[in-house]
């Protein structure tokens, strides 16, 4: 057979080159991923209600989440611990999360009892909750690198276009992601904008009336948020003293007009002479990534889609956003992007090391070349199967 090949060497060299070219194209289109998702016996649920929802409304949704895991999924779930007012997104009455401990792996050998199956069924049931968004997900393969499996995306305001434009870009991106068949469970990992009452201090008036700006800020902070004064001893124990306006006098914005500040001359100056307040709409949480204002977005690849393809889909949609909007990766997704960019260099270095080992083994520079030429023939099968 070798003799027959050598008599037709040009034909077989051409076939070899075709295999190399096919290998290059298949390798470029091969789905990429970093670490496979694992069943770690643990999963989470994140609950987000509309802005302004009360703690009682959040608790009612939490009861539905707890009932799903402890009753509907009792064969797979051992315990469910819920928290209202706190989640991976932040703190607020409209937020909550659940920590679900699954039974031992020996008791969950069926495929429908694995963490991915439990999370999938929970997502279908939670889709019927009309007054809240509930997401069930497993932790990433490396828990220290993120909160959820899937990708970890940071949308950034790199052009200084403002918070409102950033939120508009986020909503545009989420709308495109909801229509993309390669992605599922794409959601913002943050808090929605909410009504805020802003106080603007007129520095010129304050200076004219002899009231330092720090006095105004400290007075408002103490009246509406409390301030530490000193300590006192009672029963042999040291206790702290805080001052704050009584509850009936710190409930409404109009109560600011009841505040007076002492000027340098000793006179009391009313709040209305120094500052003005107005209602606004803004973010309750300042989020930045690499010094840029940012919004964290989580998501997962659709079944049968690799994490690398899902990340490519997010990058394609991010390129369609307005000028000034950029993006970055964090957590496990950042590690995947770094590993992907280093792959060609690592492959080339591996081939070089193999060549040097073979050269030392056979004490020849030509024999290792002929052996390395068999690499495309050995890899083509695996690449075709992966593609």
pLDDT tens for each residue of 126-155: 988 888 989 999 888 887 777 888 889 999
Instruction: In whole angstroms, give the CA distance from residue 340 to residue 267.
Output: 68
Residue 385 has pLDDT above 80, yes or no: no
Instruction: Determine the angle formed by the axes of helices 163-179 and 307-318, rounding to 10 degrees.
Output: 130
Computed over every residue of the chain, the mean pLDDT equals 88
Task: State the sign of the Cα–Cα–Cα–Cα dihedral 348, 349, 355, 359.
Answer: positive
Question: Where are the domains positioned within the chain?
Answer: 39-149, 150-191+293-329, 195-282
How confident is the model at residue 2, as a pLDDT? 81
Using DSSP bridges, classify how beta strands 133-137 and 42-48 pair: parallel, antiparallel or unpaired.
antiparallel
Both tokens of 45, joined, read 């649920």
Residue 80: pLDDT band with limits 50, 70, 90 = very high
Query: To the nearest whole percent, how much of the chain has pLDDT over 90?
Result: 35
Tens-place pLDDT, residues 211-239: 988 889 999 999 998 999 999 998 889 99
By three-state DSSP, how is residue 82 classified? strand
- Sequence-distant (6+) residues with CB within 8 A of 330 are 146, 152, 153, 154, 289, 296
The CATH number of the domain covering residues in 150-191+293-329: 3.30.70.1440
Q: Which residue has the tokens 């076939």?
A: 15
Cα 52 to its chain centre, rounded Å, is 23
Residue 29 has pLDDT above 80, yes or no: no
For residues 135, 139, 141 and 143, what is the CA-based torsion angle, rounded to 10 degrees? 140
The domain made up of 195-282 is a member of CATH 3.20.20.140: no
Residue 102 has pLDDT above 90, yes or no: yes
Domains 39-149 and 150-191+293-329 share a fold: yes
Task: State the sign of the Cα–Cα–Cα–Cα dihedral 157, 160, 162, 168.
Answer: negative
How confident is the model at residue 245, as a pLDDT? 92
How confident is the model at residue 172, as a pLDDT? 93
How confident is the model at residue 307, as a pLDDT? 86
Instruction: In whole angstroms, give the CA distance from residue 151 to residue 207.
Output: 52
Residue 387: pLDDT band with limits 50, 70, 90 = low
Both tokens of 129, joined, read 């909750």
How confident is the model at residue 87, as a pLDDT? 87
Instruction: Determine the angle formed by the axes of helices 375-386 and 9-29, rounding to 10 degrees.
Output: 40
**Closest-CA residue to 331 (of 189, 154, 187):** 154
- Over residues 371-387, the mean pLDDT reads 78
Asked whether the beta carbons of 191 and 283 are under 8 A apart, the reply is yes
Both tokens of 235, joined, read 């029963």
How confident is the model at residue 306, as a pLDDT? 84
- Other C-beta atoms closer than 10 Å to the C-beta of 162 total 12
Residue 47: pLDDT band with limits 50, 70, 90 = very high
Residue 185: pLDDT band with limits 50, 70, 90 = confident
Instruction: Determine the angle formed by the axes of helices 307-318 and 331-362, rounding to 10 degrees.
Output: 120
Residue 32 has pLDDT above 80, yes or no: no
Residue 50 DSSP symbol: P
What's domain 39-149's architecture?
A: 2-Layer Sandwich (3.30)
- Over residues 358-366, the mean pLDDT reads 88
Asked whether the beta carbons of 80 and 99 are under 8 A apart, the reply is yes
Cα 341 to its chain centre, rounded Å, is 22
């Amino acid at each position: 057979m070798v003799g027959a090949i050598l008599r037709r060497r040009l034909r077989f060299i051409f076939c070899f080159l075709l295999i190399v070219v096919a290998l290059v194209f298949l390798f470029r289109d091969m789905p990429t991923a970093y670490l496979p998702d694992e069943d770690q016996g643990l999963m989470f649920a994140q609950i987000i209600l509309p802005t302004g929802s009360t703690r009682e409304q959040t608790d009612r949704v939490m009861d539905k989440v707890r009932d799903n895991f402890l009753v509907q999924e009792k064969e797979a779930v051992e315990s469910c611990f819920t928290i209202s007012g706190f989640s991976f997104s932040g703190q607020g009455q409209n937020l909550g999360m659940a920590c679900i401990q699954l039974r031992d792996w020996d008791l969950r050998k069926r495929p429908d009892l694995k963490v991915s199956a439990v999370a999938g069924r929970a997502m279908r049931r939670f889709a019927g909750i009309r007054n809240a968004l509930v997401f069930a997900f497993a932790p990433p393969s490396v828990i220290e690198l993120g909160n959820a499996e899937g990708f970890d995306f940071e949308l950034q305001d790199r052009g200084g276009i403002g918070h409102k434009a950033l939120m508009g870009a986020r909503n545009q991106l989420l709308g495109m992601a909801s229509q993309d068949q390669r992605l599922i469970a794409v959601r913002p990992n943050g808090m929605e904008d909410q009504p805020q009452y802003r106080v603007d201090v007129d520095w010129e008036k304050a200076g004219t009336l002899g009231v330092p700006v720090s006095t105004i800020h400290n007075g408002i902070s103490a009246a509406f948020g409390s301030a530490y004064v000193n300590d006192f001893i009672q029963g042999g124990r040291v206790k702290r003293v805080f001052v704050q306006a009584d509850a009936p006098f710190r409930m409404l914005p109009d109560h600011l007009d009841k505040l007076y500040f002492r000027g340098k001359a000793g006179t009391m100056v009313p709040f209305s002479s120094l500052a003005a307040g107005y209602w606004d709409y803004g973010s309750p949480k300042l989020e930045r990534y690499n010094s840029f204002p940012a919004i964290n977005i989580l998501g997962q690849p659709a079944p049968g889609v690799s994490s690398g393809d899902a990340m490519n889909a997010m990058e394609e949609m991010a390129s369609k956003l307005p000028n000034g909007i950029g993006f970055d990766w964090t957590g496990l997704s950042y590690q995947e992007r770094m590993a992907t960019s280093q792959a060609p260099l690592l492959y080339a270095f591996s081939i070089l090391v193999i060549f040097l080992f073979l050269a030392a083994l056979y004490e020849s520079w030509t024999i290792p070349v002929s052996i390395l030429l068999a690499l495309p023939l050995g890899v083509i099968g695996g690449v075709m199967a992966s593609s």
